[in-house]
Chain A
Amino acid sequence: MNVIVASLRELEALSRRTGSGRGLRVGVGVICVAFALAPYVLGGSYYPDIWTDMALWGTIGVGLNVVIGFAGLLDLGYMAFYAIGGYVFANAALYHGFTLWETLPLGALLAVVASAIIGFPTLRVRGDYLAIMTLGFGGIVYYAAQNLSAITGGYNGLYGWHNPTLFGHPFIAPIDFYPLALALLLVAALVTMGLRSSRLGRAWASIKDDELAAASSGIGVIRYKLYAYMLGSVWAGLAGALFAAKDQLVSPESFTFNASFFAVAVVVLGGMGSIAGVVLGGVLYVVIAEWLSAYTGTLSGVIFAALLLLVVLVRPAGLVPYRPKPPRLRRPATRAAADLETGGDSGP
């Protein structure tokens, strides 16, 4: 609840602000609307998957952004949670007759439970060791997906369930899932935006900046890291279930180490901490991996890796760097303080 209130408050604050920021926000709004309408205007039959995939990879970016961008934890096994969402949906749909709507919360819940189980031993180690440990877990989930045939269908994966319907409208073609994926992306973006400015978000930011100082200020570092891990993996669980429903197939090949690396790349490329940035990162990834690779083949991998390296070297904060607002004083004591707060060009 707090999260929703906080995100609404942030939106309100955004719309109230004046000056040069408005043009930017109008621009972001226009881009969002254009993105939402694009497949219908441009014709979704050309690359029917690409639009839905953009929204799903945007969601992956937004979710992983909580872990990397907010809390500063490098997770190289994020797609494990995507896999859990996908397999939970596939099992529920195939063997238990559940619909997508009933499965989505279950997939999210199991992804969170898994992240807690994985996070508990993992988050005690710090920095680069954490990255390696998450890589290890991602690897184990991949091999489990290949080997536990009873629940994963092994190498061939799971398929052949009934398509979901909503008010009698069936979801069959990938484009049918686009509004759904877009809605998920929007919810993920708004909720994580709220999280970022909440008490939790500030705790993460302080852990990211200086773990020792955060611990000294009374922040339970491991507990808060675990929250970041759990609140980040929810979105992978949800996106994974949608992805499985859209593809009507879930197989281990979607959850390789490469996929987890690409998820990290999406966040770093877009801009760690910046929600618009990571969505852009997700869109860019899909454009390069799916659209460009149709023309260039495997060369698209080289292009993507080179782009990531270039961004890391030239623009380490990402394409859309996250610039936190300076903290606002609750009640400006003097006119000077009020001017300082608003940048001096406009009164409150």
Chain B
Amino acid sequence: MSPSEILQQIVNGLVVGSVYGLIALGYTMVYGIIRLINFAQGALYELGAYLGVAVFGLLGTFATRNPILGLVVAVICSALATAAGAYLVERVAYRPLRSAPPLTPLVSSLAVFFLVISIIQVVTGAQPLTYPQVLSPRPWNLGPVTLTPTEVMIAVVAIALMVAVNFYVQHTKTGRAMRAIAANTRSAPLMGINTTRIVTITFMLGGAMAAVAGVLFGINYGTVTYNMGEFGGLVAFTAAVLGGIGNVPGALVGGLTVGVFSSFATVVLPNQWQEAVVFGILIAVLAFRPQGILGERVADRA
């Protein structure tokens, strides 16, 4: 590989990785405050992508005439609807299990994951759906690398959102409440924090971010499939673990790292092994550095 090819793969990886980082936010924040691996996150990402297509469909000719405005509307509507979905999931499938043994909510989240994906499969008839072309497909030559406007837009939006969420968690009252619950679930309510409300907000925020990631994915690749949430969710979870689960900046770091790794895998490895790389990273991180790159929580809780 020539240096410019290597640089190109790194840039491609960063673009894809920023989307994964956005999904990983939901995993990492929910895990941070209630120590639940929310498998449903992958399904919410997929739901967001499909809702985005639906909104584009509803907008019809308006979106074809004003593609960028259409995209903004699609992202916002999809994020809001998916946040509502996340609220529903939390209310129905997790809140009643708050005091259950830890494996029960995990199974419940798996059930939600399959329920959402199966519903999407039934509704769409397992047919892939197509996203419209929003930005010009003509790539820009930036020195040794080429990038499409779409890719630049995706990375900018995803990273900006992650920075915003980090700011929200670090510098707002709600964010401080989230960190308080993460630090000590039992003493946080004694400080006047409405734990139920904060947990709900966290779920909804994670769902909204996953939906944005879903729409960005759809814009980037052009099509969405009913099983995209399975692999996408797993990659994003790997990103969250790699960055240090429970650690908000870690989601970005983990997402970009996983993105770059899998981007190189597409060049170095034969076709079918590319996806296995993510599993390899996941196992290696859990076996050798379960606290992740930035490190926060040690994997000692059952």
Contacts and interface: CB of A to CB of B under 8 A. Distances in A.
A261 B106 contact: no
Interface residues of B, number: 44
B103 A72 contact: yes
B102 A309 contact: no
B97 A301 contact: no
A301 B114 CA distance: 8
A305 B112 CA distance: 7
A132 B93 contact: no
A223 interface: no
Nearest to B119: A302
Given A140-B276, A298-B121, A132 B37 contact: yes
A264 interface: yes
A38 B89 CA distance: 40
Nearest to B103: A74
B302 A126 contact: yes
B57 to A, nearest CB: 22
B237 interface: yes
Given A133-B286, A316-B100, A309 B111 contact: yes
Contacts of A211: 302
Interface residues of A, number: 44
Contacts of A125: 286-287, 290, 299
A31 interface: no
Q: Specify which of B104, B119, B273, B279 lies most central, judged by the most chain A CB atoms within 10 Å of its CB.
A: B279
Determine chain A's interface SS by DSSP, over half rule: helix
B195 interface: no
A161 B111 CA distance: 38
Nearest to B37: A128
A170 interface: no
Counting from the closest, the 3 A-B pairs by CB-CB distance are: A127-B302, A301-B118, A143-B276
Given A147-B270, A308-B114, A313-B92, 6 more contacts: A125-B299, A127-B103, A132-B282, A143-B273, A265-B110, A312-B108
27 contacts: A126-B301, A126-B302, A127-B301, A128-B37, A128-B302, A129-B299, A133-B282, A136-B282, A139-B275, A139-B279, A140-B280, A143-B276, A147-B270, A211-B302, A264-B107, A264-B110, A297-B122, A299-B122, A302-B119, A304-B114, A304-B118, A305-B111, A305-B114, A309-B93, A312-B93, A316-B100, A316-B104
